[in-house]
Structure 1
Amino acid sequence: MRARPPVPRKALVKFKSVMDVELVQQLAADEMVCMAARVSTIGNTPQTYTREKNAGLINFLMRDRHGSPFEHGSFTFRISAPIFVCREFMRHRAGMSYNEESGRYRELEPVFYVPPGNRPLVQVGRAGKYDFQPGTFRQDLVAGEALRMAYTEAWTQYQTMLGEGIAREVARTVLPVGTYSTFYVTCNPRSLMHFLSLRTKSDGATYKSFPQVEIQMVADQMEEHFKTHMPMTHDTFVKHGRVAP
């Protein structure tokens, strides 16, 4: 007699409106940028430079877009976000390395994204030239209720399929893109600046970007870590219009 498949765990559906970004390791510093840049002129000769000298060099490198010295370093983030954010994030390939949890090999968690109350809901204008405006009270209510109902039903059907012994890689197809996933991304400072130039919205940017709210929620947290560990590089990045060198 064929054994019955294990009964999947019955977990309560959870709803979140935030993105989780954790810096799990980093090896990046303004001084390393300067060391990498100066090796072309001083070779292996050890020298000491003041903070002002280093700041001036970084400013020169950023202004004239000498980018390779900014590639010597790394940041590794663990990010938990809805699947649609993960997919948009992974369009960034140069200088980025990824590993993501797999719905083929583990039962996914019942955590789903519901936009926060201040998230603009109404698109105004044509494609390529549009903006978003706040929704009405009713639109906020409808969006939240529709998402919660859809998520709950999707999770119920996911559990039903697992309970019947259907493979996880098949059962997962019923889950929506609002399901949270977790991935690691490792990038160097140069690739991080390129990501930030496209996924944050700033009036001071030379080239205006209009990212989706949810990926900007991730990018804003990553930028805070960048600013903490490489303050001179971050300052010059902002000063020169948020253009990656």
Structure 2
Amino acid sequence: MTLTPEQQAEIDELRATPRPTLRAVSEGMEGHLYKANPVLDHGFVRVIDYMGDDAAICQAARVSYGRGTKAVSNDEGLIRYLMRHWHSTPFEMCEVKLHVKLPVFVARQWIRHRTANVNEYSARYSILDREFYIPEPEKLAAQSVTNNQGRGEALGPEEGARVLEWLKADAARAYDHYEAMIGQDGQQGLARELARMNLPANIYTQWYWKVDLHNLFHFLRLRADAHAQYEIRVYAEEICRLVKDWVPHAYAAFEDYRLGGATLSGKALECLRRMLAGEAVTQETSGMSKGEWREFQAVLG
């Protein structure tokens, strides 16, 4: 992970000047404020600001449902009820703003989640740093034979070394040409907004990403999943660690019902009932496709 001297100075200054407040404070999140948490080789995630805590979720729910929540004996039980029954609005009362440094190809995947406010570092105005994501050798893998959007077995040592050399050389060459194009020593210099097109997708970018807790949980359910691409999953796992300290009751419910739970189709539920009744159900008698059956078997372990 690489922080500029200016970024480190900003972090040090912000952490050295605490301010009194009357708003809800999460002690766990206060410990994470402004700190840069390393991800991948040059990336990081840091919390810039947040709003709300577990109590804010319960406060919103009790306003929304009034006396209907009186049967819930405590905040933790209420939060678990809300998560179990897919109530979303109370979780939207909490928000977090993150500063994320990430490779461009990860950013393009991340931005598919269109329920956040995003402001990205602009390569039209500023010059991108010479920082590229280069995978660890064990993360270089062949195309999966069962999943068109995933990776399979790791490449052999010889092929892996060749791929790494290409990645490093191509990135360096592209950046050399980028610098040469925008340089103004003896030439006009190409506009930055045009020169950036030559840069590879593994160069690092940065953005501020602000999202409410409901939509953050949706992001984490998909991106912290074991089937998610490794390079975005490690960011999601780091954010999970931060959220766990921010809203511990909400995160525990999320971990139980979303990350650790499973949704079954009507066919899958019927097959499960038949199995519990002692019937030997096969893919041929299940009414499921081979892909559905394989996923059902994975849920059952």
Q: TM-score normalised by the shorter chain: which range applies?
A: 0.7 to 0.9
Aligned match of 1:169: 193
Aligned match of 1:196: 220
Give the residue type in structure 2 aligned to 1:40: S
Work out which of the two has the higher radius of gyration on C-alpha atoms and give 1 or 2.
Answer: 2
Aligned match of 1:121: 141
By relative contact order (CA 8 Å, sep 6+), the higher-ranking structure is 1
Tell me the CA shift for residue 126 of structure 1: 4.3
Tell me the CA shift for residue 54 of structure 1: 0.4
Aligned match of 1:235: 252
Residues paired across the two proteins, number: 215
What is the TM-score of this pair, normalised by structure 1? 0.81
Work out whether 1:20 is the aligned partner of 2:35: no
Aligned match of 2:102: 81
Aligned match of 1:149: 169
Work out whether 1:35 is the aligned partner of 2:59: yes
Work out whether 1:211 is the aligned partner of 2:263: no
RMSD of aligned C-alpha atoms? 2.2
Tell me the CA shift for residue 135 of structure 1: 2.0
1:106 corresponds to which of 119, 126, 132? 126
Q: Distance in 2 between matches of 1:185 and 1:129?
A: 26
Give the residue type in structure 2 aligned to 1:226: V
Contact in 2 for aligned 1:22/1:77 (Cα 8 Å): yes
1:60-108 alpha-carbon deviations (Å, 9 max, x no partner): 10111111100001111111111001111111012x1100011111111
Q: Distance in 1 between matches of 2:83 and 2:138?
A: 35
Q: Distance in 2 between matches of 1:29 and 1:132?
A: 40
- The answer for unaligned runs of 5 or more in structure 2 is 1-39, 262-301
Aligned match of 1:5: none
Give the residue type in structure 1 aligned to 2:168: R
Work out whether 1:65 is the aligned partner of 2:86: yes
Work out whether 1:134 is the aligned partner of 2:134: no
1:184 corresponds to which of 195, 208, 212? 208
Tell me the CA shift for residue 120 of structure 1: 4.3
Q: Distance in 2 between matches of 1:170 and 1:61?
A: 49
Tell me the CA shift for residue 187 of structure 1: 0.5
Could you say which structure has the higher strand fraction? 1
Work out whether 1:226 is the aligned partner of 2:243: yes
Could you say which structure has the higher helix fraction? 2
Distance 1:58 1:119, change over 3 A: same
- The answer for unaligned runs of 5 or more in structure 1 is 1-15, 44-49, 203-209
1:29-63 alpha-carbon deviations (Å, 9 max, x no partner): 111000000013448xxxxxx9x600100011011
Counterpart secondary structure, 1:238: helix
> Percent identity of the aligned residues?
30
